[in-house]
Amino acid sequence: MREGVIMLAELLKKAGYRTAQVTTLADFPQAFCSHLNRGVDQHAFKEFDAMYKSSIPNLEQTQGGHVVPAPRISAQASDILDDLVKHHAGTPFSLFVHFWDPHTPYIPPESFCKFYPAARDPRDPMNHALDQLYACNIGGWFRDWGKKLDARYKDVTDPEYIISLYDGGIAYADHHVGIVLDKLEQLGLADSTVIVITSDHGETMAETNNLICGQRAMFSHVGLTDPNCSIPFIVKESDSPVLLALTLTPHCRLAFSNRS
């Protein structure tokens, strides 16, 4: 984001809010995401690694997203909320929380992979429903994932199996969003806090109308198709139930705003 563009955190800080954020972009080059720091009083990046690696199982550090795992995001967000209450009680706050899951590649922990029928064969050689995927450039990524990243992708022929992994990613993200919401409840902030859940893009599943470089592709968020453009916008106003809910899709982002 170019200099001179005013970020939301800058506006909130000017209005007297204590601003904080936890983002999965911790491992991205700072030249790419340094604008996210504008107006932020407190943020969690790489310096938190050592603290959380000791408390998050090794499996959870690598599965479920490929930037920063959801357990670290929810743990950091919870700790920041504790800190806001302890050291900035009575000060209105804004907390931005960015989860990467669900996102390609869909690699949720096994405990969240419960959506594919046990009697079905994800590698049935007679199933050619993914031939179109493997015929395009993005299909090479899926083959590589099966060889190098996650054996669950190896020789898959059933698109419903890949969709089930995506569903597992949604459940995985939902679980960790719940951890942060529970922390708000524990701290007595839930009723006085505006909560917004949104996303930056949707995701094409097994639809075949998605064009990438002139090729029809599945399982992508490139292209202005309906699935890619459908994003959630969920708002819970303070002292009220959810006002509006749309489709749940990748790159889950939470924003909390509290003025006591």
Buried b (16+ CB within 10 A) or exposed e, 229-243: eebbebebeeeeeee
- Bridge partners, 195 (sequence order): 236, 256
CA distance 216 to 132: 7
Q: Over the stretch 207-238, which tens digit does the pLDDT of each residue have?
A: 866 666 666 778 888 777 788 888 888 888 87
Q: Over the stretch 77-122, which tens digit does the pLDDT of each residue have?
A: 899 999 989 999 888 888 988 888 888 888 888 889 899 999 999 9
Q: How many CB atoms lie within 10 A of CB 40?
A: 19
Quick one: angle between helices 159-186 and 70-87, nearest 10? 10
Strands (E) across 142-252 are located at: 193-198, 210-212, 215-217, 233-236, 242-244
Rounded to two decimals, what is the model's pTM? 0.83
Q: Which domains, from first to last, does the chain contain?
A: 8-108+166-203+223-258 (3.40.720.10)
